Chains A and B, each alone.
Chain A
Amino acid sequence: MSQQLAAIFAPGFFTSQIVQVAATVSAVAALVCGTVGVFTVIRGQSFAGEALGDISTTGGSGAFLVSAGPLWGFGVAAVAASAVMELIGIQRPRGRDLATGIVLGAGLGLAALFLYLDSVYDNTTGATVSIVFGSMFAITSSSIPAVGAFSALALCLVAALGRPLLLSSVSPELAAARGIPVRFVGAAFLLALAIAVALAAFTIGTILATALLVGPAATALRLTRSPARAIAAAAAIGIASCWLGIVLSYDSYDWYHQSGESWPVSFFVVTLIFFGYLLSGLPQRRRRRRPSVASDPASGPTLS
C-alpha cells in the first residue's frame, strides 16, 4: 500500500514547502476562478476573460522591471484594462467584443516593449516564460497574504452582487425592469473578473489563465442545473485539476533522469481541465441521442 502511494506521490512530496505553497495558492485561485467563471460563461464574457489574462502579461513584465511582485503587476494591469473596457463600452452587447479587442491590442503592444526590456535587463528569457506560462513551483510563501486578500475581495464582491448579478446575467431586460442597475452590476463584476484573472495568471501563467477561469466553469455547466451547484462543481474541478497537475509535475522529475527537470505544472493543469471538459460531454451526448431514437416529433428544437 505504501509502495503504491510512493509510486504516485514521489518521496518528499508532502513535506516540500514548494508543493505546499503551490497547492494552497492554486486551490484558492481555482476557488475564485470557479465562482467568477460560472458567471463569466453565463454572461458570455469568456473573450473578456481571455483578453484580461493576456493583458496581465503587461503588468507582470512591468512588475519584473521594477522588481515588484508579479501578482501585483497582474492585478493592476487586469483591473486597469477592465476599467478601460468599461469606459469604451463593454456593457453594450454590440460593442462588447470591439471594446475588448481594442484594449487587448493596446495592452499587448505595451507587453511587447516590457518583455523586450525584461530580456535586456535579465539577459535570459526566463522572466517571459514564467510570466506567460506560469511557474507554480516558484511561488514563495510570502505571496500568500496577497493571494488571500485578492481572493477575499473577489469572492466578497460576487457574494455581495449575488441575486442582481445572477438576474442581470440571465436577462438584462428582466433585471432592468426590476430597477436593478444593470450597468453598475456589470462593472462591479468586471472588477471581480479582473481579480480572478490576475490570480489565475499568477498560478498558471497569463495566456493560460483563461483555461482555469473558463474550463472548469464550462464543465460544471454541463454537469449541474443550479447556480450554486455549478459554482461548487467548477471550484472542485479547478482545485482537483491543479492538485493533480502538481502531483504529475512533481513526479515527472523522475521521468527523464538525464534532464533533471520536471515538466511544467501549467501544462498538466490545462491538459487535465481540457480532458475533464471532453469527458463531461459524454453522458450528455448519450442523453441527447436517446429521444431521437424514439423519434418523438415533439422533441425538436424549441422556439423561444
Chain B
Amino acid sequence: MSERSSNGGASILAVDHLTVSLAGHEVLRDVSFSIEPGEFTGLIGSNGAGKTTLFRVILGLQAAHGTVLVGGAPRSRRNPLIGYVPQKFQLDPDVPLRTRDLVGLGLDAHRYGIAVPTRARRARVDEMLEAVDARGFADARVGTLSGGEQQRVLIAHALIAAPKLLLLDEPLANLDLRSGNEVVALLARIASEQQIAVLISAHEMNPLLPVIDRIVYLAGGRAASGTTEEVVRTSVLSALYGHHVDVLQVHGRVLVVAGEAGELADSGDHSHTQTQVEIIA
C-alpha cells in the first residue's frame, strides 16, 4: 500500500489516521491518504463503505478522530476551498428555481440577505454556465432538467465560488452511460484547466479509470490509496477486504471478484460444482 508522505502544506487534502464511528459502529478505521492540487482522484467503494461519511468529515459536518487538513489548515465548516456536489438532490419540477438561480446561489448562498442583481454577478454566472455547457437551459427550472443536466448545474454551483478541492458524491449513480461519460469528461477538463483537485466517489470504477490520476479504495472501513496500478491488484485488495479477491481485466474493464470455486475437492462430481462468484467492483 503506497502512501505518499504528506509533503508539508502542499497537499490540498491530507487525511491522517482518520477513524469515524457512527452509532458505536466503526465506519472508517485508520484511513490515511492525501490529494495534491489539480489531481483527479477516484474514491471507490461499495454502498455503505463510508464514502459519504468521509465527505461529511472533510466538510466538517461529522465528528472524527485523526487529522484532516484542507489546504494545510484543520477542516472547518464553510471552507471556501471546498466545493461539494451531494448525491441526494431532488427538486420538484414546479419549484421556481432556474439553473442560473442555483448557480448564482453557489456564489454567495452563505451570506444573509437578498442577492443584488449586478451586471458583474450576471456575467460571472453566464461564464460558469458556459463552462459546463449549460447555457441552453440557463432559464429552465432545475427540477425539469435531466439527471445529467442537473449534475452539470450542481458542478457549476460548486465551482463558481472558485474552490481548490471539488468533492462529488456518486455523481454517476443515476446517470446513463453517455451522460456519465459527459460529466466525467467535463470534470477532467475543469480539473486540468483550473488546477482544481477533484475527489469523486463511485461504486463502479471503470467509467473513471481513463481520467483519474489516483485512487482511494475503501473496503471494510479501511482505505488503500495510490495510482490505479498500485491499488487495483489482487494482493492489495485482498489485504484490504480481509479475504481473497481477484482483480481481472476483461475487455479493458477491471473487475474485482470475490468468492472462490467452492468445494471442488469435496464434491468430486463436476456437474454439481458451484462456483460462487460475486463481482464487487
Instruction: Say yes or no for A175: interface residue by CB 8 A criterion.
Output: yes
Given contacts A222-B94, A227-B97, contact A167 B109 (CB under 8 A): yes
One of A170, A177, A178 near B95 (C-beta < 8 A): A170
Please choose the segment from A12-20, A158-166, A192-200 that sits at the chain B interface, where 4 or more of its residues have CB less than 8 A away. A158-166
Q: Are A224 and B174 in contact, CB atoms less than 8 angstroms apart?
A: no
How far, in whole Å, are A225 and B94 apart by their CA atoms in the complex?
8
Residues from 191 to 242 in B contacting A, C-beta threshold 8 Å:
none
B174 contacts A304, CB within 8 Å? yes
**Min distance, Cβ A196 to any Cβ of chain B, angstroms:** 18
**Of residues 48 to 105 in B, which have CB atoms within 8 Å of A's CB atoms?**
59-61, 76-79, 82, 84, 86, 88-91, 94-98, 101-102, 105
CA–CA, A38 and B96, complex, Å:
9
Binds A, one of B3-11, B118-126, B143-151, B258-266: B143-151
Contact indicator A303/B113 (Cβ below 8 Å): no
Q: Nearest Cβ distance between residue B259 and chain A, in whole angstroms?
A: 31
Cβ-defined contact, B112 with A164, below 8 A? yes
Does A176 sit at the interface, judged by CB under 8 A?
yes
B-chain residues with CB within 8 Å of residue A167 when the two chains form the complex: 105, 109
B147 touches A175 (CB 8 A): no
Q: Is the CB of B110 within 8 A of A164?
A: yes
Interface size class of B (residues with CB under 8 A): 35 or more
A220 proximity list for chain B (CB < 8 A): 96
A303 touching B109 in the complex, CB below 8 Å, given contacts A174-B84, A177-B86: no
Given contacts A177-B59, A179-B78, A303-B174, contact A163 B109 (CB under 8 A): yes
Whether A160 lies near B112 (C-beta < 8 A) is yes
Question: For residue B157, which residues in chain A have a CB less than 8 angstroms away from its CB?
Answer: 174
Contact between chains at B59 and A163 (CB < 8 Å)? no
Q: Which residues of B contact A178 (CB under 8 A)?
A: 78, 84, 109-110
Interface size for A (C-beta < 8 A) is 32
Contact B89 A171 (CB under 8 A): yes
Interface Cβ pair total, 8 Å cutoff:
104
CB distance from B153 to the nearest CB of A (A): 11
* Any A CB within 8 A of the CB of B111: yes
Given A161-B112, A163-B115: A42 in contact with B95 (beta carbons within 8 A): yes
Q: Is A226 an interface residue (CB 8 A)?
A: yes
Q: Provide the bound-state CA to CA distance between A227 and B114, in Å.
A: 11
In the complex, how many angstroms separate the beta carbon of A150 from the nearest chain B beta carbon? 21
One digit per residue, 1 when the CB lies within 8 angstroms of any chain A CB and 0 when it does not, for chain B 140-177 equals: 11101111001000100100000000000000001100
Tell whether A92 is near chain B: CB-to-CB under 8 Å. Answer: no
| Shortest distance from the beta carbon of B138 to any chain A beta carbon, whole Å | 11
Q: How far is the CB of A277 from chain B (nearest CB, A)?
A: 12
A171 to B60, CA, bound (A): 18
B108 within 8 A of A: yes
Q: Which of A137-167 contact B (CB under 8 A)?
A: 159-164, 166-167
Establish whether residues A180 and B109, one from each chain, have CB atoms under 8 Å apart when the complex forms: yes
Contact (Cβ within 8 A) A163 B113: yes
Give the distance in Å from the alpha carbon of A177 to the alpha carbon of B154 in the complex.
Answer: 13
Q: Which residues of B contact A225 (CB under 8 A)?
A: 96, 98, 139-141
Chain B proximity mask over A192-235: 1 for CB below 8 Å, otherwise 0: 00000000000000000000000000001110111101100000
Min C-beta distance of B110 to chain A, whole Å: 5
B95 touches A304 (CB 8 A): no
Residue from B91, B101, B144 in contact with A227 in the complex, judged by beta carbons closer than 8 Å: B101
Nearest CB of chain A from residue B107's CB, rounded to whole Å: 9
Specify which chain A residues have a CB less than 8 angstroms from the CB of B82 in the assembled complex.
Answer: 177
A104 to B88, CA, bound (A): 31
**Pairwise interchain contact A176-B174, C-beta atoms closer than 8 A:** no
| Residue in B59, B88, B113, B144 whose beta carbon sits within 8 Å of that of A159 in the complex | B113
Do A304 and B101 touch (CB < 8 A)? no
CB–CB A226/B94 < 8 A: no
Q: A173-B88, A179-B77 are in contact. Are A226 and B98 (CB under 8 A)?
A: yes
With the chains together, A164 CA to B142 CA distance in Å? Answer: 18
A174 touches B96 (CB 8 A): no
B243 to chain A, nearest CB (A): 34
Does A302 count as interface, using CB distance less than 8 angstroms? yes
Q: Which of A220, A224, A303 has most B Cβ within 10 Å?
A: A303
A168 nearest CB neighbor, chain B only: B109
Give the residues in chain A near B78, CB-CB below 8 Å. 178-180
Contact of A160 among B61, B97, B113, B146 (CB under 8 A): B113
Name the one of B89, B113, B141 contacting A174, with C-beta atoms under 8 angstroms: B89
A72 to B213, CA, bound (A): 64
Chain B, residue nearest A222 (CB): B94
- Asked whether A302 and B147 contact (CB < 8 A) given A171-B89, A221-B95, A227-B97, the answer is yes
Can you list 5 contacts pairing A with B, beta carbon distance less than 8 Å? A162-B112, A170-B105, A174-B86, A225-B140, A229-B96
3 nearest interchain CB pairs? Answer: A179-B78, A173-B86, A179-B77
Q: A163-B105, A180-B110, A303-B146 are in contact. List 8 more A-B contacts (CB 8 A).
A: A167-B109, A171-B86, A173-B89, A177-B61, A177-B84, A178-B109, A226-B96, A304-B90
